[in-house]
Amino acid sequence: MTAATDADAIRRRTQDLLAAHPPATTGRAEFLRARFDAGLAWVHYPAGLGGLGAPRSLQAVADAELAAAGAPDNDPRRIGIGLGMAAPTILGYGTDEQKQRFLRPLWLGEEVWCQLFSEPGAGSDLAALGTRAVRDGDDWVVDGQKVWTSSAHVARWAILIARTDPGLPKHRGISYFVCDMTDPGVEVRPLRQITGEAEFNEVFLTGVRIPDSHRLGPVGEGWKVAQTTLMNERVSIGGARIPREGGMIGTVAKTWREHPGLRTHDLHQRLLTLWVEAEVARLTGERLRQQLVAGQPGPEGSGMKLAFARLNQEISGLEVELLGDEGLLYGDWTMRRPEIVDFTGRDAGYRYLRSKGNSIEGGTSEVLLNIVAERVLGLPAEPRNDKDVAWKDLAR
């Protein structure tokens, strides 16, 4: 198959897909499978893996044609961890067999993914993780605990980093695996949040066996592989494409227009300031996506995620103030186990509470500030006395 490398070729291919599989008469699963096989899932991926080897920017051409025709999507919010984190890591470090096995059901939404990275004693300092993976023949036996794991309660697979050599410094003794969440040694427990629901989980791993064929990258180079995941994670959290006045700022602007009696000069000025900052962040995100066309995401994604967290918290706080007493209402305090985070379909009280987690998930704001300072601005790095010390000798 010849790679389609221009907009007209992508448009023709999309029209051919729609003609052969009309969305009005084709089942959702059948249409998505046909789209993947046509190379229109993610056009920048290689042929045979849902793509065409085309520039990433041409995905927007296919998406626009499909949306105009009323074609179904793959429910990207439900499978965001797979799409935004697992898939680019598998593409970058997986074997041909791993790519063929995992990428198609991942994109189709047939298999949900989660991320087993953070630990109770190694959150911000992720490289200090203590979950162990010990080689046993053709398998690795994993024991440990992970925390703040979104979607673990519905996930089929997990991307996992574990310590394979405690005698090396913390960044050099880690390996990266694909973990089967149906293994009998995997236990998922809900973590109830300030919102009342349990979107996150803690995961206990006891004698979990992972075949060596499910390792991504060389043994001991898991930290390098994890950087691909983390950089893509921050772009997927903070750099999502939204229209002008979309997202949280659109919600509070709508509230402002619908409640003229609650307006004050101070609230008006704050809304204008946040509106401008949200628009700057949106346009910066567009620039970042243009940079992605030329390669993998870099540390700039950390800056986008920082802005996303701060703006969400400030905008949701403004909305609560704007609504006055009504802003304190929170109508759903049930112990739900949601598959996705829905900021726009809930009340202001939920948005205010849930946004507090934005500065923790996907990398704490404090750590991201260090990344921006050192890797974007070129400022001197903070002293790290444990850099060359074996992990087993570190104080814990």
| Residue 202, domain CATH | 2.40.110.10
Q: What are phi and psi of 245, to 5 degrees?
A: 60, 35
> What pLDDT, on a 0 to 100 scale, did the predictor assign at position 371?
82
Torsion of CA 331, 332, 333, 337, to 10 degrees: -170
Residue 294: strand, helix, or coil: coil
pTM of the predicted structure, to 2 decimals: 0.87
95 and 55 share a domain? no
94 and 193 share a domain? yes
121 and 193 share a domain? yes
CA–CA distances in Å: residue 81 to residues 73, 111, 346: 16, 11, 22
> What pLDDT, on a 0 to 100 scale, did the predictor assign at position 236?
60
Of 168, 192, 220, the residue that ends a domain is 220
52 and 90 share a domain? no
> What pLDDT, on a 0 to 100 scale, did the predictor assign at position 339?
74
Residue 308 · residue 237 · CB < 8 Å = yes
242 and 204 share a domain? no
Does a structural domain hold residue 1? no
| Residue whose entry in the numeric block shows the structure tokens 């697979």 | 157
179 and 242 share a domain? no
pLDDT by residue for the chain (396 residues), tens only, comes to 344 568 999 999 999 999 999 999 999 999 999 999 999 999 999 999 999 999 888 998 999 999 999 999 999 989 999 999 999 999 999 999 999 999 999 999 999 999 999 999 887 789 999 999 999 999 999 999 999 999 999 999 999 999 999 999 999 999 999 999 999 999 999 998 888 888 889 999 999 999 999 999 999 999 999 998 988 776 665 556 677 888 889 989 998 998 888 788 899 999 999 999 999 988 887 777 666 655 566 677 777 888 889 999 999 999 998 888 888 777 766 667 877 777 767 788 888 988 988 888 777 888 888 888 888 888 998 887 787 899 998 887
Residue 76: strand, helix, or coil: coil
58 and 94 share a domain? no
Residue 311 · residue 208 · CB < 8 Å = no
Of 175, 204, 220, the residue that ends a domain is 220
| Non-local CB neighbours of 282 within 8 Å, separated by 6+ positions | 242, 244, 246
Q: Is 233 a catalytic residue?
A: yes
Closest-CA residue to 68 (of 15, 21, 143): 15
> What pLDDT, on a 0 to 100 scale, did the predictor assign at position 104?
98
Does a structural domain hold residue 216? yes
| Residue whose entry in the numeric block shows the structure tokens 């628009």 | 279
Q: What is the CATH number of the domain that holds 353?
A: 1.20.140.10
Number of C-beta neighbours around residue 20 at 10 A:
11
| Residue whose entry in the numeric block shows the structure tokens 């630990």 | 119
- Catalytic residue among 197, 233, 300, 319, which? 233
Does a structural domain hold residue 73? no
235 and 212 share a domain? no
Residue 328 · residue 260 · CB < 8 Å = no
Q: Which two tokens stand for residue 140?
A: 């690795």
Does a structural domain hold residue 55? yes
Does a structural domain hold residue 76? no
232 and 345 share a domain? yes
In the chain, the number of structural domains is: 3
Q: Quote the domain boundaries for residue 41.
A: 7-68
Q: Which two tokens stand for residue 64?
A: 């626009």
Residue 300 · residue 266 · CB < 8 Å = no
Of 193, 220, 247, the residue that ends a domain is 220
Rg (CA), the chain: 22
184 and 317 share a domain? no
211 and 165 share a domain? yes
Does a structural domain hold residue 390? no
201 and 300 share a domain? no
> What pLDDT, on a 0 to 100 scale, did the predictor assign at position 293?
58
